[in-house]
């Protein structure tokens, strides 16, 4: 359990270390051939070869931030740390060797299994098997949602930092100091890494960074338990806090399935690309998605305070608006390869 007075040093440490590690990580990525080459695939349209060192810088900031935490044999924290290490290693291998989909999925499932084995999982249902399946789906889904949404400089890190900030405040309110500490490390590491990843990026996150960020936020979302609130009024909070990456993932999956394309076949068909086709300039497109993340986070906790009935009605309204937006993107801005 981390005292609340350590939250600010954790954020500052994560920020400073990730920022200072960004240049060495970019240099190391080049030496290890972790480089994103423009034109290598149709959707890779950046102007020059860019090192994928953001994942290593992010990991360094996270490790430095959580070093402040007194673990006290917390099994859930051990599960998060070990699972994060697995995701990071598989992500680095993917950045270097472009792993096949089954191998990627194996790494994600292995990390999810470690997390669940240490007690971080859904407890919505009375049937353990159903809770297990939902937990696996959530963890793997959020990992891939952040991998998908990393379609523009600074986008995934900004959304991750925003979600981390909401979980930080929520965990403080719920008295879960160790979750607040992990969320603080996420916020600090995202801020520091963002400096080299913002438009125009000097260092990409790569799969190692985006999947690591998704795994940690999925884990925090599972571990967070609102105090003094019914489960019927709180189950949707992590879904809304991570709503923008989830929307992007659903949009991409639906769009590709409709067109007979493989879900993992990369392309310029993400939310950001749809905004570009609607003539929204790059920085404003990224800002719009960050703003949407903030609004959904605010609505999540407004719904939580409103009780089960109004909260779930609010969720239904947001989901309905999301479906309308998805259909609008499909009709007004068809995807490009």
Per-residue confidence (pLDDT) for residue 1, from 0 to 100: 45
Per-residue confidence (pLDDT) for residue 72, from 0 to 100: 66
Q: Return the SS3 of 333.
A: coil
Got the DSSP string for 3-59?
Answer: -GGGHHHHHHHHHHHHHHHHHHHHHHHHHTT-EE-TTSSTT---SS-EE--HHHHHH
DSSP class of residue 199 equals: S
Per-residue confidence (pLDDT) for residue 29, from 0 to 100: 96
Note the Cα 330 to chain centre separation in Å.
24
Domain range summary for the chain, segments of one domain joined by +: 4-332
Per-residue confidence (pLDDT) for residue 73, from 0 to 100: 59
Per-residue confidence (pLDDT) for residue 331, from 0 to 100: 83
Per-residue confidence (pLDDT) for residue 40, from 0 to 100: 57
Got the DSSP string for 218-265?
Answer: HHHHHH---TT--HHHHTTHHHHHTHHHHHHHHHHHHHHHHTT--TTS
Backbone angles phi, psi at 50, to 5 degrees: -125, 130
Instruction: Extract the tokens encoding 51.
Output: 């090192």
Per-residue confidence (pLDDT) for residue 265, from 0 to 100: 81
Cα separation of 4 and 177, whole Å? 7
Tell me the average confidence (pLDDT) per consecutive run of 10 residues in the chain, 337 residues long: 73 98 96 82 62 97 91 83 98 95 97 96 88 97 97 95 97 92 97 93 95 98 88 88 98 91 86 92 96 98 91 96 95 67
Note the Cα 55 to chain centre separation in Å.
12
Backbone angles phi, psi at 74, to 5 degrees: -80, 105
pTM of the model: 0.94
């Amino acid at each position: 359990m981390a005292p609340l007075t350590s939250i600010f040093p954790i954020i500052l440490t994560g920020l400073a270390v990730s920022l200072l590690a960004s240049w060495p990580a970019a240099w190391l990525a080049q030496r290890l051939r972790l480089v994103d080459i423009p034109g290598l695939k149709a959707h890779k349209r950046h102007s020059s070869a860019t090192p994928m060192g953001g994942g290593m810088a992010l990991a360094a900031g996270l490790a430095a931030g959580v070093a402040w935490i007194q673990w006290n044999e917390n099994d859930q924290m051990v599960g998060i740390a070990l699972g994060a290490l697995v995701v990071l290693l598989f992500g680095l291998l993917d950045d270097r060797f472009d792993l096949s989909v089954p191998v990627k999925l194996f790494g994600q499932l292995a990390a999810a299994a470690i997390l669940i084995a240490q007690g971080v999982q859904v407890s919505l249902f009375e049937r353990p098997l159903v809770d297990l399946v939902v937990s696996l789906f959530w963890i793997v889904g959020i990992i891939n949602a952040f991998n998908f949404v990393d379609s523009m400089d600074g986008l995934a890190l900004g959304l991750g930092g925003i979600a981390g900030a909401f979980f930080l405040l929520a965990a403080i309110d719920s008295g879960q100091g160790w979750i607040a500490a992990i969320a603080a490390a996420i916020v600090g590491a995202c801020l520091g890494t963002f400096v080299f990843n913002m438009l125009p990026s000097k260092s990409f996150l790569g799969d190692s960074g985006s999947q690591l960020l998704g795994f940690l936020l999925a884990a925090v979302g599972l571990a967070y338990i609102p105090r003094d609130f019914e489960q019927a009024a709180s189950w949707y909070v992590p879904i809304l806090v991570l709503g923008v990456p989830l929307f992007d993932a659903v949009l991409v999956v639906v769009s590709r399935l409709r067109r007979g394309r493989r879900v993992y076949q990369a392309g310029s068909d993400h939310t950001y690309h749809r905004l570009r086709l609607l003539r929204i300039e790059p920085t404003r497109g990224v800002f719009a998605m960050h703003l949407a993340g903030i609004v959904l986070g605010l609505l999540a906790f407004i719904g939580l305070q409103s009780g089960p009935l109004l909260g779930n009605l609010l969720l239904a309204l947001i989901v309905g608006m999301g479906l309308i937006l998805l259909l609008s993107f499909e009709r007004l801005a068809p995807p490009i390869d």
